[in-house]
Amino acid sequence: MAAGDKLGPETSIDKILLATVEQQIFDLAQKDEGDKLVGVYAEQAESGWNQERYLAKFAIRTMNPEKCADFYQYVFELKPVNRNGGASGHHLTDGRVTLSILPWSISIFENMSIKRPGPDHIGFKVENIEAFRQHVEATAGMNPYVAPMRLGGSKESDARKAFFAKEAGGKFQMADPGGVWIDVTDE
Residues 72 and 151 in one domain: yes
Residues 36 and 70 in one domain: no
Residues 24 and 96 in one domain: no
Q: Pick the closest to residue 178 from 126, 122, 137 (CA basis).
A: 122
Beta strand 79-80 pairing with 98-103 = unpaired
Residue 22: give the domain boundaries.
13-47
- What pTM was estimated for this model as a whole? 0.55
Residues 21 and 83 in one domain: no
As a whole number of angstroms, the distance between CA 184 and CA 54 comes to 10
Instruction: Tell whether 88 is covered by a domain.
Output: yes
Round the CA-based radius of gyration of the chain to a whole number and report it: 25
Instruction: Tell whether 31 is covered by a domain.
Output: yes
Q: Tens-of-pLDDT digits for all 187 residues of the chain?
A: 555 555 555 555 555 444 444 444 444 444 555 555 455 555 655 666 677 888 888 888 888 888 878 877 876 678 998 765 566 889 989 888 888 888 888 777 777 776 776 777 888 888 999 998 998 888 888 888 778 888 888 888 888 888 888 888 889 998 877 677 888 899 8
As a whole number of angstroms, the distance between CA 187 and CA 182 comes to 15
What's the structural domain count of the chain? 2
